[in-house]
Amino acid sequence: MIVLGIDPGLANTGYGVVARRDGRLAAFDEGVIATPAGTPVARRLVALHDAIRALLDAHRPDAVALEALYFGRNAQSAFAVGQARGVVLLAAGQAGVECADYTPQEVKGAVCGSGRADKEQVGRMVQALLALPRAPAPDHAADALAVAICHANHAPLAAALAP
């Protein structure tokens, strides 16, 4: 199973591709899609959409996994992130790839065994689980790998438990 994890944002969208085979995980790709500040939002979203489609074409994932974000009070930033997330979901839908949402607590629990782990712990565990030579960077790419790991480890269990 191949999972494309995404940490969406208008300026920077993290991505990470994780494969699971025989219970072992491996990272195939990770990075950040940056869109140019100072250009119209519509054009930035076109650039993001093109990049996500290219990732879907290149890796043919079985699923796209995203964090289900819960913004406390900042509706403006929820709105901006929502725009980027809509474009990511659209690209997945157009490619016929299933999307799955996980809360930050689920992601941390899946990677670190605790929903309260901090960023550094998540980075170290992602590095260990994927046998990476160093902790993944930047943060957006690390977060995307973490949510991909969460789905890769959760989906087989969910399938086994399904009635």
Of 84 and 126, which has the nearer Cβ to a second copy? 84
C-alpha separations of 143 from 14, 76, 96, 126 in Å: 7, 22, 24, 9
Q: Torsion angle, CA of 113/119/125/131, rounded to 10 degrees?
A: 160
User: How many residues belong to the chain?
Assistant: 163
Question: What minimum distance in Å lies between the beta carbon of 130 and a second copy?
Answer: 26
Q: Which is nearer to a second copy, 105 or 114 (CB)?
A: 105
Q: Which is nearer to a second copy, 44 or 154 (CB)?
A: 44
Q: Does 63 bind a second copy (CB under 8 A)?
A: no
- Which member of 37, 75, 157, 159 binds a second copy (CB under 8 A)? 75
| Contact status: 34 vs a second copy (CB under 8 A) | no
Residue partners of 70: CB distance under 8 A and separation at least 6 = 103, 104
The footprint of a second copy on residues 76-95 (CB under 8 A) is 76, 78-87, 89-90, 92-94
Q: Is 69 in the site for a second copy (CB under 8 A)?
A: yes
DSSP for 103-163 reads -HHHHHHHHHS-TT--HHHHHHHHHHHTT-SS---SHHHHHHHHHHHHHHHHHHHHHHH--
Q: Does 26 bind a second copy (CB under 8 A)?
A: no
Residues that bind a second copy (CB under 8 A): 40-43, 45-46, 49, 69-76, 78-87, 89-90, 92-94, 98-99
